[in-house]
Every structure is written in structure tokens, then in C-alpha cells.
Amino acid sequence: MEPSPLGQLLLSGVPGPELDSQSAAIFRRVQPGGFILFGRNIKTALQLRKLIDDLRDLSPVAPIITIDQEGGRVSRLREIGSEPPNAQQLRDKGDPGLILRHGHITGRLLRLFGFNLDLCPVLDISFDDEADNSLRGRCYGKTVEQVIALAGAFNEGLRAEGIASCGKHFPGYSRAPIDAHHELPQIDLTRAELEAHELAVFRHFTDKIDSMMIGHAFYPALDNTRTPTSLSHAVVTGMLRRELGFGGLVMTDDLDMGAILNHYGLDETIRLAITAGNDLAMICHRVQCVEDAWKTLERLPAAELDRALENVHRFKAKMAPPDAFSEDEFRRRDAEVWQLRVDTLGEVQARERSPENGKRSPVETY
């Protein structure tokens, strides 16, 4: 019997650096549409490429293979190589050419391992560089115009290398008073305030970016039912799809974050995510729940499933194949990352902030 195609609507994490037999069996049955990798999946360059090749071999339909490779602390590949400068460091340097170069370098590095989607650029505006909401150091600008110019430069370079991009975190997350990894933030902005700032950025990128990630927050001005944006039909379909006219792939942020996990069971989460208008439901850590999520999908309206499946299929038709891998080529491409770091921060500061000196983030942020 052919497996149900509905697994294509799930973006799953992977437990460890090797594909264990239990996870492989689940993935063969479910056939997830894609996989997201984290630091826990990365030990060596050769091991990472083998893991990705093994994931590809599980399915006759090429999977999305994605990662958060932004810069700074949200750089999964720093586990095996150099840490790129973060968006704020590049912004403060004041050279858009460095950001364009960063996009090209990142794309080439990801192609070497077999990734086809990078979950960036961050399109949030930094209203407070010290805000404690998981976005510290990750924003390209303090104004609409600055974010458009600088995030746009990274997006251009990344896509030119055959790696699809993802704008996040729609509809704007940087004014959240708390971190959604722990609890659902409430953002009390008027629609007019959002239009003037956050939505102005996302509106600009609707025809320039390949996918959008929906953040977890409650905006009373957008949906007064206290539904998180990632599960809200009014936000995902009503605003992003219909008002802004976005036609690319739409995914939730990680549904294992406290903002969702503390308030919704798995069945309701998956149902709301897809009926809201998302094409991919992201489960990063509870990999053992992927099969239950797959079974939930079978009970959803056919029209919603068909819409999401078509969008995933359309996205996959444009995915680029991986480059041939070699350790020497990895060292060459990683050297480009290091040189970008030096050119942005200077030799001394680049070494002071390198991951070899223990500057690791304890939280896997996305």
C-alpha cells in the first residue's frame, strides 16, 4: 500500500546525529515533507552530509532539508566551523555589500551539505536591541527601510546560490514582551501601528521571498479570540494570503514551543495549524509525536489538505540539488565564513567572540 501523502504537511525534527532505526521507521511510514536540523544533529562535516543523505533516501519525494543558519548564536553550523557575524553586527558595520556576501557564502555552505531551505532572513524590526524576547542580535534594522535594504541583501545572495529563503516571524515579533519559547506573548499594538512598521516590511517581501514562518503571539488587533497568530485563520489566510497576496510556502514556527504547548494538545494544534492556512506544521523536538500528527491530518477537510499539498508540491518543484561534498571543499567554504567574520568585526574581536571560546547559547532559538 502506498503511504498517505499527508505526511508532506509535516516538518519534523530529527533526534540525533545519526538516523536511528526507530526514527527511520516512523519517517518511512509518515513520509514527512521535510526535516529541520539543530545543533544536536551536527558533530562533523562528513557526519552531517551522511545524515542528510540518509534522510533523503527515506522517501521517493525529495524532502525539504532546512536549518536556522542566520549568524551569531543562531548558526547551527558553528558546531563544526566558523560562526558568521550576526545581523546586528553586520547592520552596525554599515556595509550592505558584506550582507550580500553573507547571503552568497551561506547559500554555498548549505548546498554543500544538502540543505535546500534556510529559515531566514529575520524580517523583524529591532525597536530595542536589548529586548529579552529571543531576537537579540538577530534583526537587520531599526526602521522599515533599514530592514528592507539589509535583509533584502541577504535574501538576494542566499537565493542566488539556489537556497530558498524564509521570512520570519510574521506578522512581527520583536515587540513581544516575553519569549514565545516559554509562553504566549500578547502584543497590544493597533492595526495602524502594525501597518506602519511590521507589516510594511512583510508586505515588501511578499513577492521576493520563498516562504514565510508564522510566529507565536497574540495580537488583539488582528484576532480577538486569543488565538496565536500561527494558528489563526484571520492572520494566516485573511492577512498574509489575501491582504498581502503572499503565494509562497507558509509554515508555523515550532509547535513544541511553550506558547503553543502550554495551551493546546497535539490534535488541536495540528488541526488549527492547517485550517488556519499553513502548509507545513513544524514539530522540532517531539519527534515521537510525528506519527500521531500524521493521523490527525487524515481527519481534516479535504479542501484544506489539497491546498497545502499543492503549495508544498509547488515549492519542491523549485528546490536545488546538493553540491558534491568533500572535506576540502567544506574547509574552503568555511574559510569564507571566517573571512567575513574578520571583515565585519576585525581580527581581534572576531577571535574573542568565536565559538571556540565557549560563547554558546543554551537555547535552540528559531
Compute φ and ψ for 66, nearest 5 degrees. Answer: -130, 170
CA–CA gap between residue 340 and residue 338 (Å, rounded): 5
Q: Which three cell numbers, joined as nine digits, stand for 275?
A: 485550517
**Structurally, how many domains does the chain consist of?**
1
Residue 169, in any domain of the structure: yes
Residue 10, in any domain of the structure: no
Q: pTM of the prediction?
A: 0.95
Predicted local distance difference test score (pLDDT) of residue 299: 96
- Inter-CA distances, 154 with 86, 162, 205, 251, 295, Å: 12, 13, 12, 21, 38
Find the Cα–Cα–Cα–Cα dihedral 245, 213, 233, 27, rounded to 10°: 120
In the predicted model, is pLDDT for residue 1 greater than 50? no
Predicted local distance difference test score (pLDDT) of residue 72: 95
Residue 326, in any domain of the structure: yes
Report the CATH number at residue 160.
3.20.20.300
Residue 225, in any domain of the structure: yes
What is the pLDDT averaged over residues 33-61? 97
Residue 11, in any domain of the structure: no
Predicted local distance difference test score (pLDDT) of residue 243: 97
Residue 95, in any domain of the structure: yes
pLDDT band at 359 (very low <50, low <70, confident <90, very high): very low
Share of residues in the chain with pLDDT > 70 (%):
95
**Mean of pLDDT over the chain:** 94
- Residues with Cβ within 8 Å of 364's Cβ and at least 6 positions away in sequence, in order, are 38, 39, 40, 284
Predicted local distance difference test score (pLDDT) of residue 358: 44
Give the range of the structural domain holding residue 22, as residue numbers without chain letter: 16-355
What would the pLDDT profile of 195-232 be if each residue is shown by its tens digit? 999 999 999 999 999 999 999 999 999 999 999 999 99
Tell me how far apart the terminal alpha carbons of the chain are, to the nearest angstrom. Answer: 37
What would the pLDDT profile of 106-163 be if each residue is shown by its tens digit? 999 999 999 999 999 999 999 999 887 789 999 999 999 999 999 999 999 999 999 9
Residue 8, in any domain of the structure: no
- Inter-CA distances, 319 with 20, 72, 228, 326, Å: 26, 26, 30, 21
Residue 361, in any domain of the structure: no
Predicted local distance difference test score (pLDDT) of residue 132: 78
pLDDT band at 3 (very low <50, low <70, confident <90, very high): low
Predicted local distance difference test score (pLDDT) of residue 180: 87
What is the pLDDT averaged over residues 73-77? 95
